[in-house]
Amino acid sequence: MKPLRFLITAGPTREFLDPIRFISNRSSGKMGYALARTARRYGKVTLVSGPVALKPPAGVTFVTVTTAQEMADAVFTRFVEADVVIMTAAVCDFRPRRVAVRKIKKDSFTGTLELVPTVDILATLGKRKSHQLLVGFAAETDALEAHALDKLRQKNLDLIVANDAGAMEADTNRVTLLYRDGRVERLPEMPKARVAQEILRRITALRT
């Protein structure tokens, strides 16, 4: 099989209120980093990562970002050259409308934080894709498969990996794979390194 060019995202984003404070999420980046390490066996890997406490995998092109817009810019500029795009990152859906230049003092805060949507990276890729195999992730707290199926359809994905949100900081994961053709595959709980192997085996099979 011809070596593949992978573009993988991992970790959270941070959306700042002021120079000190930000909103974010619990993503550890462990699943995305495991996928990047495994994908090296199949070709060239670019990993775009939000802020995490993990060492960058050896042998990959490593790009660090902080905000959703920075991640979008990094992904969009590299998308056209990718064969497989795996969007593992937990990108914040909202950001503060205004970012204060100085630290917001407690006595000056109105008690209301106005938020606006961030760019929907996955949906944009779904509209732009041509030859790329596009894989998304869905971390949910309820109705896991139903929400993942909606995301698969709405964002024009080829495959979506669904897992309970409780796995975000864990070393293991139990995932359900939902395919564009309607197949559903439920994998048992296993270490994230093993989950990455199983996911990559299926992705490469889709490319043959």
25 as an active site residue: the answer is yes
The range of the structural domain enclosing residue 133 comes to 4-94+113-207
In a domain, 101, yes or no: no
* pLDDT digit string (tens) for the chain, length 208 residues: 689 999 999 999 999 999 999 999 999 999 999 999 999 999 999 999 999 999 999 999 999 999 999 999 999 999 999 999 999 999 999 999 999 999 999 888 888 999 999 999 999 999 999 999 999 999 888 988 999 999 999 999 999 999 987 777 889 999 999 999 999 999 999 999 999 999 999 999 998 7
Q: Are 138 and 91 in contact (CB under 8 A)?
A: no
In a domain, 160, yes or no: yes
Q: What is the largest CA-CA distance in the chain?
A: 62
Give the domain CATH number at 194.
3.40.50.10300
Catalytic residue from among 25, 156, 163, 173 = 25
Assign residue 156 a region (left: φ > 0; alpha: ψ between -120 and 50; beta: otherwise): left
Number of domains in the chain: 1
Rounded-to-integer distance, Cα 50 and Cα 48, Å: 7
In a domain, 170, yes or no: yes
In a domain, 53, yes or no: yes
Residue type (1 letter), 18: D
